[in-house]
Structure 1
Amino acid sequence: MRFSSMLGRGRLIQRYKRFLADIIVDDQILTLHCPNTGRMTGCAEPGWTVYYSTADNPRRKYAHTWELCRDDAGDFICVNTARANQLVAEALAEQRIPALAGYEQVRAEVRYGAENSRIDFLLSGPGRPDCYVEVKSVTLHEGEGQGFFPDTQSVRAQKHVRELMECAQAGHRAVMLFCVLHTGIERVSPAEHLDSKYAALVREAVAAGVECLAWKAEISPEGMTLTQPVSVKV
């Protein structure tokens, strides 16, 4: 996935009101839309380099969208959570994830489950059980290559694990795909220290047949691509 135009660059002042961030560009303050509902722990330190896209829609209140940042170690982090599903959709279309290759049909945002969720991707084809794929964006890095999800307690993420367990128990394939959007992360685990219930549910889900995969993106201001699997320890 290449960005549609060259990203602008500035220095982060602060993120605030969840969906806004101020940066400095050429000694001027510019306000960006921040497309991330999470805490963004370790992704938004003042002074870090920020990369942003610019929309040509005159109706937008904030024309600029925060896409990436670069930490003091030189690692790139994608803070636009919508990019995770875009990257996975691209990888599925190009059959680049071997464990999820060979399905004839890929549908996005399909309603399923007793808790009225939408699965990120439903893969199907003759002679194979349907495959339900839930995508999670991983950006929490706590050193030595270790990444975690989620970055805070998440009732919504817990619900998704329960839904995947129901899919597996019904005879379908159920896959949790961690999309690693921090170039410093080399392995992924559920964040038991932040959401112990989620971590326990993931372990229960794996025992029930849910698969856990993690793929890491190569990230630069020019674009991003899922390029390699990384290990998952539950």
Structure 2
Amino acid sequence: MHHIRIAILCLVVWLLAGCTEQDQSYLATRAVEALQTTEAIVKTTAVAASKTAAAEAAQAVQTQVAAVKQTAEAMITHRTDDGPFTVDSDLTRLATVSGAQLDAAIKAIRPDSPLIGLGQGFVDAGKKHGINAFYIAAHSAWESSWGTSPLARDKNNLFGYGAYDSCPYECAWTFKTKEECVDTVMLLVKTDYLTEGGKYYNGATLRGMNVKYATDQNWQNGIASIMNSLASKAG
């Protein structure tokens, strides 16, 4: 049991070096869970004292160690980005901001914004689809005039999705809720614009998205500016 504990702890210490503070906390929790499970298995095995139980225990320990390693490596690979941002920032790098921090940042910039309260929705969509939450919030703020546009008010459409210069209102998609809009549009953005091989992919950046997403060439600069404003207020 002592050797197993040391092996897991050494593995965790090695992996923690490449993690953010938030990821370190999560990884440490997983390590504790792994050790607790291991101890329980070893105790059960000692009582059973059978070769079959011992083999199952060993396999379970290996599975726990592998799970911790896989989680940590995934976190290290998927590095975070909390700014400063440019039009060439990788939008698939996750932000470490919380929903409450994002709401506070929006409120600090636009105290009357209907986007206040959607912070957790932006964060959840970012984690679900692998997109920076500052970008999601900034994109919605730019397209919807901080949640006050007719599309945001009448159709819960925060991103102008489906709208064209020749059909700016009628053609825009309608969503049941603003949260549904965030989740649906971010899935499409990730698939079509931010993933290599996507039909509108020109790089996972604002500059790359601007090629097909918007005719306004200042679109990329406007969103990058709001991303930095949000990041500065969330800090």
| TM-score normalised per structure 1 | 0.29
- Give the structure with the larger strand fraction: 1
- Give the structure with the larger helix fraction: 2
| TM-score normalised per structure 2 | 0.29
